[in-house]
Amino acid sequence: MRILFLILMIFTMIYSCKKDNDEVIEKAVCGSCQMEVEMRRVSNELNRFDSIIINLYEKINDEPKFVLKEIEKIEYQLNSETDSLKIKDNKVSLVTNLKIETLYRMGEYQKSINEIEHSAKLSQRRFDGEINYSENDFIHLACNYVKLKDFEKAKELLSKAGVGWYITNFINANFYEVIGNKEMAIKKYEEIVSDISMDHYYHYRHSKIRLLELKKSNPKLLTELFYPSDRSDAKITVSDNGIRNKVFDTIWSIPECKNCGSVSVFKEPRESSRYWMKAKSKKIIYNFLVDTLSFEIFYLDTINKKEIPLSEWRKGN
């Protein structure tokens, strides 16, 4: 009888421990599910909003005044609605980029400049007092100043656009054309086409086209810089644009990048399936790898040359 009682006690203890352990696992799983549901809601809402913005980009050339009116409505809506998903800044950024390009296409160059400057000043609140310009901001400013014939200011801004930024060399070559320095423009375009690692970018092809034109006896020089659009579906590379967009969506959706000032491709995959992405949040620059086969994210420790799964990296931070 005492033995039976002991067996029952042991069984009760095991059942109790199992129940407690199951509750802990259930809570952990539910917590993970909740984060996934939240991330899905964020992704779906950003995709919905982005499709509206892309549709307006399509109307810039034919109906720019209509686009500006729609932008005003969207801005009013963003200022009046609640931000339960904490993505208002992302939406504001998409609308601002659309407005800047619309004004540029309309020939309202000073207004376009003013919008870029205003947007950069607003970033001071999000980046600890630091005015945050992206590489494209500097290029867009330079595009506007070229139109205003202020070539010195344009040259100064292009020098700030970031060495190694995928399109900087192409824009600089454009600039030499605009100011009439054909020889230097040819040199810059030839530097681009000699780097075969750049052949997946669309501007690599355009560099070849410009070289053919410039080597004619009476070439027609450019009168403006190429304006790199910030629309999310802009074709930048010859590679699958759908995969590229999904890579960006994957990075924007993680908690570390909800308030990132910029996310950019630092290195595209050539002999692997991984994109090297750089994300800037306040004064922190993150290096992430996104595997396009599984869309798993790794943190890249550039000092120790280590790839760390995101969940493992978070534990250490």
> Taking 90 as the threshold, does the pLDDT of residue 258 lie above it?
no
Radius of gyration of the CA atoms of the chain, in A = 25
3-state class (DSSP) for residue 151: helix
pLDDT digits (tens, 9 = 90+) for 50-95: 999 999 999 999 999 999 999 999 999 999 988 888 889 889 999 9
Adjacency order of strands within the sheet including 297-301: 262-267, 274-281, 284-291, 297-301, 306-309
For the chain, the straight-line distance linking the first and the last C-alpha, in angstroms and rounded, comes to 55
pLDDT digits (tens, 9 = 90+) for 122-163: 865 555 566 778 889 999 999 999 999 999 999 999 999 877
> Taking 60 as the threshold, does the pLDDT of residue 253 lie above it?
yes
pLDDT digits (tens, 9 = 90+) for 188-222: 999 999 987 777 788 998 999 999 999 999 999 99
pLDDT, mean over the chain = 84
pLDDT of residue 233: 84
pLDDT of residue 128: 58
pLDDT of residue 129: 60
Q: Across residues 259-286, what is the average pLDDT?
A: 80
In terms of C-beta density within 10 A (0-12 exposed, 13-18 middle, 19 or more buried), how is residue 91 classed?
A: buried
Q: 166 with 265: CB under 8 angstroms?
A: yes
Percentage of the chain with pLDDT > 90?
48
For 220, the token pair is 């027609």
Q: Taking the complete model, does pTM exceed 0.85, yes or no?
A: no
Contacts of 292 (CB under 8 A, 6+ apart): 243, 246, 247, 269, 273, 274, 275
